[in-house]
Amino acid sequence: MQYMLLIYEDESVYGEEPDSPAVTDIIQRHIAFGDDIGEARQGGAGLLPTSMATTVVTRSGAQTIHDGPFAETREQLGGFYLIEAPDLDAAIAIAKKLPLHADGSIEIRPVLGDTD
């Protein structure tokens, strides 16, 4: 079964520079994580900061465009993995290995339509 692992962290811990030591460190840790889980990894990517986001909001059929994220939160979606795991317990075991720079959370969601 496929699961999406959604990585939420406070993006301010990485600083403003894309090549900061914190960013370089977490990238290396994610490379090692990808190697560790092997073929379970079906895809994934990190995301640029929320300052680069654009949000399309639909309310009562009308659409508006907003710069940045729509929701103000302490943690931002920073990346994701699509994994293959036999069940939720196996997906949880993989998610527990996922590197975070500091505090954060990993949301585990089954992929719709995947009934293996």
Domains of the chain: 2-110 (3.30.70.1060)
Per-residue pLDDT tens digits for 51-80: 888 888 899 999 999 887 666 677 888 999
CA atoms within 13 A on the CB side of 106: 19
Residue 18 has pLDDT above 80, yes or no: no
Residue 19 has pLDDT above 90, yes or no: no
Of 58, 53, 86, 88, which is closest to residue 72 (Cα–Cα)? 53
Per-residue pLDDT tens digits for 31-45: 999 999 999 999 999
Residue 116 has pLDDT above 70, yes or no: no
Residue 96 has pLDDT above 70, yes or no: yes
Range 11-38 average pLDDT:
87
If phi > 0 it is left, if psi is from -120 to 50 it is alpha, else beta; for residue 86 that is alpha
Residue 114 has pLDDT above 80, yes or no: no
pLDDT at residue 4, as a whole number: 96
Single pTM value for the model: 0.85
